[in-house]
């Protein structure tokens, strides 16, 4: 059966993204847990390291070499305007704070838009040697070390009392006036944990958690997550229930709990 030309374009970009994220991982791990790692502060007081900048440079170089007409937007470097319908959205280290603390729950994110719609995502965890990825229409996949990829699927748990709830930091809930929602989720979930950033979202995509909420985030924090969650049978949505990465907040949730969690957030 012939492969549709659009699907061929996506598969080619997925193969490149998986290899590019491996190359970026090599650099990231060179500096990981190093006593000499210097942490700088950006204008918004968030941390950045030589690994963040170097990893994004690697990702951009690989994209430009393979697909020079694609646009690129990333966290650390200026945007590049391409000439076709594809746009990469990059976060070289999602979870720089855990990274600088020597905690392995950080990831490299590559999202791909086609005509403004997110169609591919790669989330690689360098220190764990795991990667979760998806392209639209081809399912979500989870590869652990040298094992064969397995299907990534959200859980089917429908009761909050049986579910794992994750978030990044409590203070962000206070910032947006949602402290009561946070406390409700903590009290009424089976387990509430601070497994934040992309790691928490991938716990939902692989069925190990049911809800992960980020009260404050940027587009590059979320772009890779949308296709993965959707192909895994779940949802990436903002606090209004829309699959947007541009509204400054978002959540990963399985299908069974989506409406209940949205109702809790809206109070």
69 with 128, same domain: the answer is yes
Q: Is the pLDDT of residue 77 over 60?
A: yes
**Entry pTM:** 0.95
Over residues 71-76, the mean pLDDT reads: 96
Binding site annotation covers 45?
A: no
Nearest to 136 by CA among 11, 5, 22, 44: 11
Nearest to 265 by CA among 167, 159, 155, 162: 167
Binding site annotation covers 3?
A: no
40 with 126, same domain: the answer is yes
Q: Is the pLDDT of residue 64 over 80?
A: yes
Among 131, 151, 171, identify where a domain stops. 151
Q: Is the pLDDT of residue 3 over 90?
A: no
Give the tens place of pLDDT for each residue, 81-134.
Answer: 999 999 999 999 999 999 999 999 999 999 999 999 999 999 999 999 999 999
262 with 233, same domain: the answer is yes
238 with 256, same domain: the answer is yes
pLDDT value of residue 5: 65
168-174, long-range: CB < 8 A, 24+ apart: 168/194, 168/196, 168/197, 168/200, 168/214, 168/215, 169/194, 169/196, 172/214, 172/215, 172/216, 173/215
Q: Is the pLDDT of residue 2 over 60?
A: no
What mean pLDDT is reported for the chain? 96
8 with 91, same domain: the answer is yes
91 with 14, same domain: the answer is yes
118 with 66, same domain: the answer is yes
Binding site annotation covers 91?
A: yes
99 with 168, same domain: the answer is no
Over residues 231-245, the mean pLDDT reads: 97
Among 151, 173, 198, identify where a domain stops. 151
Among 151, 177, 198, identify where a domain stops. 151
Q: Any bridge partners for residue 253, and if so which?
A: 211, 235
CATH number assigned to the domain comprising residue 129: 3.30.540.10
219 with 102, same domain: the answer is no
CB 214 within 8 A of CB 168: yes
pLDDT value of residue 1: 40
167 with 147, same domain: the answer is no
246 with 139, same domain: the answer is no
CATH number assigned to the domain comprising residue 232: 3.40.190.80
72 with 139, same domain: the answer is yes
Domain that holds residue 57: 2-151
Residue 42: pLDDT band with limits 50, 70, 90? confident
Count structural domains, the chain.
2
* Higher pLDDT, residue 5 or 85: 85
Q: Is the pLDDT of residue 248 over 70?
A: yes
Give the tens place of pLDDT for each residue, 150-190.
Answer: 999 999 999 999 999 999 988 999 999 999 999 999 999 99
Residue 7: pLDDT band with limits 50, 70, 90? confident
pLDDT value of residue 43: 83
């Amino acid at each position: 059966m012939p492969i549709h030309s659009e699907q061929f374009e996506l598969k080619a970009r997925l193969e490149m993204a998986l290899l590019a994220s491996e190359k970026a991982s090599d650099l990231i791990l060179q500096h990981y847990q190093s006593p000499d790692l210097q942490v700088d502060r950006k204008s918004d007081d968030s941390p950045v390291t030589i690994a963040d900048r170097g990893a994004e440079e690697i990702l951009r170089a690989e994209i430009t070499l393979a697909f020079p007409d694609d646009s690129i937007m990333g966290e650390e470097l200026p945007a590049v305007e391409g000439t076709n319908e594809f746009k990469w959205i990059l976060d070289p280290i999602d979870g720089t704070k855990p990274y600088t603390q020597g905690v392995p729950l950080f990831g490299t994110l590559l999202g791909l838009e086609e005509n403004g719609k997110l169609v591919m995502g790669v989330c690689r965890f360098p220190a764990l040697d795991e990667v979760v990825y998806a392209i639209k229409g081809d399912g979500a996949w989870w590869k652990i070390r040298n094992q064969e990829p397995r299907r990534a699927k959200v859980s089917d748990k429908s009761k909050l009392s049986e579910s794992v709830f994750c978030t990044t930091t409590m203070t962000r809930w206070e910032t947006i006036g949602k402290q009561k929602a946070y406390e409700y989720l903590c009290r009424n979930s089976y387990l509430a944990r601070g497994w934040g950033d992309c790691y928490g979202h991938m716990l939902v995509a692989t069925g190990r958690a049911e809800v992960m909420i980020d009260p404050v985030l940027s587009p590059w924090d979320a772009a890779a997550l949308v296709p993965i969650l959707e192909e895994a049978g779940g949802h990436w949505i903002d606090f209004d229930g829309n699959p947007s990465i541009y509204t400054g907040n978002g959540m990963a949730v399985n299908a069974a709990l989506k409406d209940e969690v949205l109702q809790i957030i809206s109070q």
